[in-house]
Amino acid sequence: MGILIVLVAVVITIATSGGHDTAQSSAQSETPAPSTTKGSTTGKTVQETAAQVPAGPQISGEAAKKARIPILMYHVISTPPAGQPMSELWVPKARFRSQAEALKKAGYEAITMEQAMNAWQKGASIPEKPIVLTFDDGYLTQSTNAGPILEKLGWKGVLYLTTRNIGPTIPAASVKKLIRLGWELGSHTITHPDLTKLGAADLRKELEDSRLQLQAQFGQPVDAFCYPTGANNETVRAATKAAGYTSATTVVGGIADGAQDPFALPRVRVTPDDTPKLLLKKIEAFKAGAVPADAPGGYTLPSTQTAPQTSQVTG
């Protein structure tokens, strides 16, 4: 009987810990799904905590309005199993930690999309060298692996959550844990469709209903949006704005700033091949005007071309 009790305890421990990386395989092989909901003011207490500016050198006013802010794009924070499809969307935990620590050492301080928008539109205070870390779809390792690493640095991320992923790939309890750590909750639609191919009614449903669901379930304002696979056009951007969002990110490579369309913001795709040194180099290349290459997360220098506003790259 004593042996049986020990075995049961071990099983319970593994289950409640999320099984670490192994529990992620099914969740991570799934295509990024969306989450969209209408903005509300419920649960503002936690959101206000998330909006607190880290200690250190700050900028505000015109300097904040003109700030150029790298928005990093992550998906699964774990090592992919052999033969895993879309393994470029997986960043091993150890590599993620080294990337975050290198960014911190380089003087960056993580903020949320809410803080970035307040800086660009109102001149609100932000760190002198801001950066945003976004996580698409909703995977368990975003909570079990990324969450503690960022918490140790005093940082928070932005979770772009696809509502159909709540449960299958990330438990609601894990989402709530990230919110308690100050993470911002954004929408990535309900079913992760190509929004450019939807009729008006379905487009509105993906944008509005996901947002309403997230706000109702987690008691948080949901003002940030991320286009599934980055697919967007003028109609989609207008519908996103009409749904009440204040920003939307793409998968187009580049550095975001307040002069850009807030519903077509570029990001920096992070891959498992990005060593800390390469990631810093990639960010600086985009700051220097690099143009995205065909490969995900790639870039080409030198060039004076302008990045497109619509992209079909998986993300």
**HSE toward the beta carbon, residue 261, CA cutoff 13 A:** 17
User: Cβ(160)–Cβ(98) under 8 Å?
Assistant: no
pLDDT value at 298 more than 80: no
Looking at residue 40, its pLDDT comes to 38
pLDDT at 89: 96
pLDDT at 1 over 80: no
Domain limits, the chain: 17-300
| Res 157: pLDDT | 98
Kindly report whether the peptide bond that precedes residue 130 is cis, defined as omega within 30 degrees of 0. no
pLDDT tens digit string along 45-100? 334 433 444 467 999 999 999 999 999 999 999 999 999 999 999 999 999 999 99
Q: Where is 99: in which H helix or E strand?
A: helix 93-105
- Where are the alpha helices (H) located in 181-299, listed in sequence order? 200-204, 210-218, 234-242, 276-287
| Residue 271 confidence (pLDDT) | 94
- Angle between the N-to-C axes of helices 172-180 and 210-218, in degrees from 0 to 180, rounded to the nearest 10: 70
**Distance of alpha carbon 224 from alpha carbon 237, whole angstroms:** 13
pLDDT given at position 290: 77
Neighbours of 81 (CB within 10 A): 14
Q: Which residues make beta-bridge pairs with 158? A: 134, 184
CA distances from 113 to 191, 248, 298 (A): 23, 9, 23
Q: Given the structure tokens 């909570």, which residue do they identify?
A: 143
Helix (H) or strand (E) holding 300: strand 299-300
DSSP, collapsed to helix, strand or coil, labels residue 19 as coil
Give pLDDT, residue 24: 37
Do 299 and 285 contact (CB within 8 A), yes or no? yes
- How many whole angstroms separate alpha carbon 212 and alpha carbon 248? 17
pLDDT band with cut points at 50, 70 and 90 for residue 198? very high
b/e 20-30 (16+ beta carbons within 10 angstroms → b): ebebbeebbbb
When pLDDT is cut at 50, 70 and 90, the band that residue 108 belongs to is very high
Radius of gyration in angstroms for the set of CA atoms belonging to the chain, rounded to a whole number = 19
Model confidence over 240-297: pLDDT tens digits? 999 999 999 999 999 999 999 999 999 999 999 999 999 999 999 999 987 665 444 4
Q: Could you read off the pLDDT of 128-176 as tens digits, one per residue?
A: 999 999 999 999 999 999 999 999 999 999 999 999 999 999 999 999 9
Q: Which segment of 43-47, 183-187, 224-228, 235-239 scores lowest on mean pLDDT?
A: 43-47
User: Is domain 17-300 in CATH 3.20.20.370, yes or no?
Assistant: yes
Compare 173 and 8 and report the one with higher pLDDT.
173
* DSSP tag of 119: H
Residue 10 in this model has a pLDDT that exceeds 60: no
